[in-house]
Amino acid sequence: MTEAEELRFACDAMCGGLARWLRAIGYDTSFTPDVDDAELVEHCACEQRVLISADGRLFERRAITSGQVRALRLPRGLRLRQQLEWVVLAMRLDVRPPRCTACNGTLRPVRRDEVQHIVPARSLVWADEFYCCYSCGKAFWNGTHWMRMQRVRERLTELLQADRANSSSAGRAAD
Ligand SMILES: [Zn+2]
């Protein structure tokens, strides 16, 4: 298993939007806004999650300064989309099949008739891909929201490719 396959994240209380997007690109990301800093760091230590936060105080905690908990400090002032791009490039995150954006569960493809009781009738007619979350049962389909997510996923893949191309040409220049 490569490191990227094991990577799991925990977003702090200020990064709920980012947590949903990391799930949308396939990364196991917890978001528990009601815990305090100590509990959050403990949770990361127990579950070996990389903590993501823009809160400088968190980074002074011993578990983090000692390297026991890996943490990624978000630059302040970034908008949500910029946060996502920043994390993807900083951690070189390949875009993977999405997880449930609501609860972080894994999605399984399902047949139309399995979700006909939850998906709105008109979406049932024109959507042709349906997924269900193993954990919370929420249904997803390739409607407008899914398409928007797909465009962001494609844009991130392009960014990563451009970044890799840049760093390999920089590597050659340094040789
Ligand atoms: Zn779910």
In whole angstroms, give the CA distance from residue 57 to residue 60. 5
Question: What percent of the chain has a predicted confidence (pLDDT) above 90?
Answer: 88
Q: How far is the CA of 107 from the centre of ligand 1 (A)?
A: 8
Q: Is the pLDDT of residue 1 over 50?
A: no
- 3-state DSSP assignment of residue 90: helix
Cβ atoms of residues 40 and 12 within 8 Å: yes
Q: How far is the CA of 134 from the centre of ligand 1 (A)?
A: 7
Alpha-helical (H) ranges within the chain are: 3-6, 16-24, 37-47, 62-65, 80-91, 121-126, 144-174
Q: What is the pLDDT of residues 24-66, one digit of tens each?
A: 999 999 999 999 999 999 999 999 999 999 999 999 999 999 9
Q: How far is the CA of 6 from the centre of ligand 1 (A)?
A: 20
Q: Is the pTM of this model over 0.85?
A: yes
The CA-based dihedral angle spanning residues 124, 81, 107, 132, taken in that order and rounded to the nearest 10 degrees: -30
Q: How far is the CA of 87 from the centre of ligand 1 (A)?
A: 23
Which DSSP symbol is given to 56? G
The per-residue pLDDT of the chain, averaged, comes to: 93
Strand partners for 52: 11, 72
Q: How far is the CA of 56 from the centre of ligand 1 (A)?
A: 31
Q: How far is the CA of 137 from the centre of ligand 1 (A)?
A: 6
What phi-psi label fits residue 48: left (phi over 0), alpha (psi between -120 and 50 degrees) or beta? left
Higher pLDDT, 76 or 5: 76
| Residues having C-beta closer than 5 Å to ion ligand 1 | 100, 102-103, 105, 133, 135-136, 138
Cβ atoms of residues 99 and 108 within 8 Å: no
Q: Where do we find the tokens 């009601």? A: 34
Among 107, 153, 151, which residue's Cα sits nearest to residue 132?
107
Measured from the Cβ of residue 79, the count of other Cβ atoms closer than 10 Å reads: 9
Among 97, 95, 101, which residue's Cα sits nearest to residue 153?
95
Q: How far is the CA of 138 from the centre of ligand 1 (A)?
A: 6
Q: How far is the CA of 76 from the centre of ligand 1 (A)?
A: 29
Q: How far is the CA of 149 from the centre of ligand 1 (A)?
A: 16
Residue 64 half-sphere exposure toward CB, CA atoms < 13 A: 22
- Beta strand pairing call for 50-53 and 9-11: parallel
